[in-house]
Amino acid sequence: MKVGIFDSGIGGLNVLNELLKEYPNNQYYYYGDTKNIPYGDKDKKTLLSLSKKIIAFFEAKKVDLIIIACGTISSNCYLDLKKVTTIPIYDIITPTIEYLKEKSDLKKGVLATKRTISSHVFQNNLENILAIAAKELVLMIEENKIDIKVIKNYMQEFQDRDILVLGCTHYPLLMKEFKNFLKKEVEIVDMGKCLTRKIKLPNTGKSEIKLYFTKIDKTLIKNISRILNCKYEINLIEN
């Protein structure tokens, strides 16, 4: 099966990684819109126009399925995008909320981009949730310049929580750092794992990974090699 996956940058590669563990035998087309990163503080109109271009790209590639591996696009544009394509399309937040509903008695926290938090998708669907917007984490991750103090400050907000949801797909790349500032018992929820548990893909076809980015530099290439432990091809795409 041909599967299209997209995000603003490398965050969605965490989702791809989770899918590859379960379903390696598919053709994956990954689109990272690095020229327009970060998505997290853009308005809905801009997000919709950027993501529609990506859907058109996947339509031209004739993918069988599209996965929005981005919390910001999932929370702001999912319903609109469903209407613009006949290709089945999955978002990353619905399976995460389904998973969290099984934990209704626990105190939850979510850290995500400004636009995801202001969409209220987590707050409207779950009780007992503390929602905090992070400004600088996505670029920190893309530029590979980690400021521990910033991470510590965010984690302090979640000290009384039982669960922390990483509401942006970039954040699993800081898993080790987050864990350092949380109690051992805190469960950290990775949205890519929630999606992989819910989705059913075939696993019998050709195995291939083609990555497309709208801007490529040395840091990006290094980041990709740190994240993906398999064979892939990288392409620059004009948009």
Instruction: Just list the catalytic residues.
Output: 70, 168
Which has the closest alpha carbon to 101: 75, 130, 120, 127?
Answer: 127
Q: Which residue stretches of 85-113 are H helix?
A: 93-101
Binding site for ligand DGL (CB under 6 A): 7-8, 11, 37-40, 70-72, 113, 116, 138, 168-170
Minimal distance, residue 38 CB to ligand DGL, in Å: 3
Give ∠ CA 212-11-21 in degrees, rounded to 5: 85
Instruction: Give the nearest distance from C-beta 75 to ligand DGL in angstroms.
Output: 8
Nearer to ligand DGL among residue 25 and residue 123 (C-beta): 123
d(CA 183, CA 71): 25
Question: Which residue, 14 or 26, has its beta carbon nearer to ligand DGL?
Answer: 14
- Smallest separation, CB 176 to ligand DGL (Å): 18
Three-state SS at 110: strand
Q: Please say which residue, 26 or 75, places its beta carbon nearer to ligand DGL.
A: 75
User: CB-wise, 113 or 214, nearer to ligand DGL?
Assistant: 113
Residue type, 19: L
Distance in Å, CB of 83 to ligand DGL, minimum: 21
* SS3 state at 89: strand
Query: Which residue is at the shortest CB distance from ligand DGL?
Result: 40
When the beta carbons of 37 and 209 are compared against ligand DGL, the nearer one is: 37
Helices of type H across the chain: 11-22, 44-60, 71-84, 93-101, 114-119, 121-125, 137-143, 148-157, 175-180, 191-198, 218-227
Strand partners, 190: 166
CB 46 within 8 A of CB 72: no
Please state the closest distance from residue 48 (CB atom) to ligand DGL, in A.
15
